[in-house]
Every structure is written in C-alpha cells, then in structure tokens.
C-alpha cells in the first residue's frame, strides 16, 4: 500500500545555520589567503553573542570579527528588535593553532600520499525521482525556504518576514516507490509583531503562504512535480501560533547540528560527521562530496534508479579502507551473461573509475578554493554548479567553480565501463 516519507529544511536565519555560515565564511577567508590552510572552525550563537573556536594551521592572518558581523548582516539580522544584531552583538574569537599530533597524520612528503584527516565513514546518495537526483521531499523543503528568503529580501508582498524559518514536506509514494502526491506541507516563519489579534495574524500569514509563496515555488518546478500540488494537501502554517522571537535569541545555534538537512533529508544514510567550518583535508566533508558525485553519476548514467555509496577511512591513511555500494535492488546494468550486476560488482567498478584518496578528491573538485560559504544553507547536495569570484592575497581577482561535486562529468566513463 502507499506510504509516506518526510524531510525538513531550515532557513539561512535558523540559529544553527547562522553558525554554519559563519564557520564556512571564516574557512573561505583562510583559503583565500592560504589554499593549504587546515581549518576546523566551530561557532556558537545566542542572544547578541557569537563565539568562534577551533584549530587552525595556516600562514594566513584572519580577523574573524568583521567576517562574523558581515555574515550575520547578510543573513538579515540587522535590527535591534531581533536581539541578535550584526552591528552590536558581542563577538569572541577562540581560534588557536592545530595540534601537531593531528597534522602529522595528514601531511606527507608527497601531496598525493596525504592521509585522511580522521577516521570515519561517509555516504553519498542519488535518486532518479528529481532532475537534480535528490529526494523529492528534501528538494521541495529547500525550495520553499529559498523562495521565502527571496520574498523577504524583496520586501514587497510579505513585508513582515524575519530571517528564521523551517519547512517540512511529506510525500505519498506508491508501492513501486514513485511520488504520487504531496500529503502535508509545514511552514513555520518568524515574523514581525502584528497589530491585529493572533488569529488574524495567523490567517494573514497562511493566506500569503498559499497565494504568494506556493505559486512561486510551483512556477520553478517541472510539470510532473507541479502536478503533485493538489487541493488535498494538508498545510500547517506556523502551527504553534505567534513566532516573533526567533533566530539566535530564540534558540542558541551551533555549527554542525543540521547534518540531515545538509545531505539527503533522511534518505540514504549519513556517517555522522558535519561539514561546515572544515577544510577539505577532513574527509567528513571531502569524501561525502566525492560519494555524492559517484552516486549521482551512477544514476545519471543509468546504472540504477537509486544508489547509496559508502567510503570509509583510517586517520592518516590515504587509501579508503572500504567502498560499499547498494542500489536497493534497482540495478539496470548487466554482466556479459545478461544478469544484473551485484552491488559488489558495481563497487569494484567504482573503485576502478574513481580515485578516492583525499588528495585526489581535493584536486578533482577544487576544494582548496574559497567556495564553501554558499554550501552552508539550503543543502550541500543537489545544488547547481556555478562560479564565485574572490580577491586573492596578491590583489588578483579569480573565479572559482562551486558545487563541483554535482557535475555529471563521469557519465561517459561510467557508461563505457558498464557497457551502457
């Protein structure tokens, strides 16, 4: 019988995402000055206060405070009534030098022998149910909040919006795992004080969500996904009622607390390591990107309808200790005898096609470039590759590719290897 699956997202103004964005902005500044910088930056935000702490090994000289303030300002916390204000909040810096015990496990005489920055397992997932090979519930959850943020910045239709928000989408699937309809949408958005009663305020917000936000989101979707928006959807708009107090004043935020929002919304798996604030020598981040790249290219090449890839490492060791692939029984690729390839056979071919040493991953995706601030809200996966410009230490302006792990550049090699 049909079943339901739910994913959530949070906005750039959610306190945990504020922390993620600060950590990645600081990382980018180190990489702008020193591409080989080793950075592990954690952030805590609460009422009119931000703390950055962590370990750094770099030749760069970074003043964290203006980066913290500019990030908070860009997100939209720029008014005294938010009780978290870019211009007035206290900023504390507790970044310090990285432990040499950790560093000796990473750096080698030859760059290509660079060891993994830590042990652990990382996962990548892809599905054919959306154009960007992401789970539909998460993709829609992200889109709702990205569009809500755009409406807030335009300041025309929903002028009462504040930066903090959350979304949740529940999809009804058929027995053969195909999306049939959107069952439930939850939107909770921070807002200004209203003059009318609370009930009138809630009615106004719900009416605007249905008449402004939802049509704008629908307009950017393919026809088959638009068809899932029916009049049978259950909407919960600010279901707890008034939501004036929010952001870091309403709830403290920490780097790395939204790892499921950052990845696949509960589909597939997650190794447990967070991404933001970490340079690419930390395989928590770089190998998770590599695993997503593999899974996405496998699905796009037609190997299977959905793929989960696991890569595992030992600290200080370059080669992964294991590569695992599962296609959930959706394999389309066949061997010479005409039988479907086993997941083990697919994993063996993946090992042949992809160099999963940390140094190779960093070089393949350009992960020593200052490209990470854009990843810190609305997901690290499923995003559109693009470019960003940065002024380098010598004054030159360089252009860097972003979301390089989302490229479908290995599809021809995979088709050739799998005979597709």
Annotation: binding site for L-methionine = 55, 98, 251, 282
At 408, list the tokens. Answer: 């479908």
Residues 6+ apart with CB under 8 A from 333: 302, 303, 304, 340, 341, 346, 418, 419, 420
Per the annotation, binding residues for Mg(2+) are: 16
Residues 6+ away with beta carbon under 8 Å from 306 = 125, 126, 127, 128, 129, 299, 327, 328, 330
- Distance linking the first and last C-alpha atoms of the chain: 33
For the annotated binding site for ATP, the residues are 14, 164-166, 242-243, 251, 257-258, 274, 278
Distance CA 320, CA 115 (A): 10
CA distances from 80 to 77, 85, 89, 141, 152 (A): 9, 6, 10, 30, 18
Bridge partners of residue 5, in order along the sequence: 171
Q: 94 - beta bridge partners?
A: 53
**CA-closest candidate to residue 392, choices 365, 368, 362:** 368
CB 67 within 8 A of CB 26: yes
CA quadruple 363, 366, 55, 50: dihedral, nearest 10: -170
Nearest to 160 by CA among 79, 85, 83: 79
User: How many Cα atoms within 13 Å fall on the side-chain side of residue 22?
Assistant: 36
b/e code 339-355 from CB counts within 10 Å (16+ = b): ebbebebbbebbeebbe
Q: Cite the annotated binding site for K(+) by residue number.
A: 42
Q: Which residues contribute to the annotated binding site?
A: 14, 16, 42, 55, 98, 164-166, 242-243, 251, 257-258, 274, 278, 282
């Amino acid at each position: 019988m049909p079943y339901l699956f739910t994913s959530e997202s949070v906005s750039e103004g959610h306190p945990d995402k504020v922390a993620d964005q600060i950590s990645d902005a600081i990382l980018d500044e180190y990489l702008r000055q020193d591409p080989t910088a080793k950075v592990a930056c954690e952030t805590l935000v609460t009422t009119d206060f931000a703390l950055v702490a962590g370990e750094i090994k770099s030749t760069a000289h970074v003043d964290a405070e203006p980066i913290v303030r500019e990030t908070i300002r860009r997100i939209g916390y720029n008014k005294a009534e938010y009780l978290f204000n870019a211009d007035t909040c206290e900023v504390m810096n507790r970044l310090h030098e990285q432990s040499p015990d950790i560093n000796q496990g990473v750096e080698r005489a030859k760059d290509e022998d660079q060891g993994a920055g830590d042990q652990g397992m990382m996962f990548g997932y892809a599905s054919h149910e959306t154009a960007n090979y992401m789970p539909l519930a998460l993709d829609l959850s992200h889109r709702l909040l990205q569009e809500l943020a755009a409406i807030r910045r335009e300041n025309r239709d929903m002028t009462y919006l504040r930066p903090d928000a959350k979304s949740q989408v529940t999809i009804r699937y058929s027995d053969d795992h195909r999306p049939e309809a959107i069952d439930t949408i939850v939107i909770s958005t921070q807002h200004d004080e209203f003059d009318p009663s609370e009930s009138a305020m809630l009615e106004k917000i719900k009416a605007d969500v249905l008449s402004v936000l939802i049509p704008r989101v629908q307009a950017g979707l393919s026809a088959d996904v638009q068809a899932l928006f029916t009049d049978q959807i259950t909407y919960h708009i600010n279901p707890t009622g008034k939501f004036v107090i929010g952001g870091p004043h309403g709830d403290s935020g920490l780097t790395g607390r939204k790892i499921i929002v950052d990845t696949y919304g509960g589909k597939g798996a997650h190794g447990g390591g967070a991404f933001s604030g970490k340079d690419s020598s930390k395989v928590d981040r770089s190998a998770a990107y590599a695993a997503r790249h593999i899974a996405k290219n496998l699905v796009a090449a037609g190997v299977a309808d959905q793929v989960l890839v696991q890569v595992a490492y030992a600290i200080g060791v370059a080669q992964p200790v294991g590569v695992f692939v599962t296609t959930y029984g959706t394999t389309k690729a066949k061997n010479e005898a005409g039988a479907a390839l086993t997941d083990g056979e697919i994993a063996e071919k993946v090992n042949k096609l992809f160099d999963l040493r940390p140094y190779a991953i960093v070089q393949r995706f350009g992960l020593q470039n200052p490209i990470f601030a854009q990843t810190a809200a609305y997901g690290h996966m499923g995003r559109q590759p693009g470019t960003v410009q940065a002024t380098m230490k010598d004054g030159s302006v360089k252009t860097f590719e972003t979301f390089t792990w989302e490229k479908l550049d290995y599809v021809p090699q995979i088709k050739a290897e799998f005979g597709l």
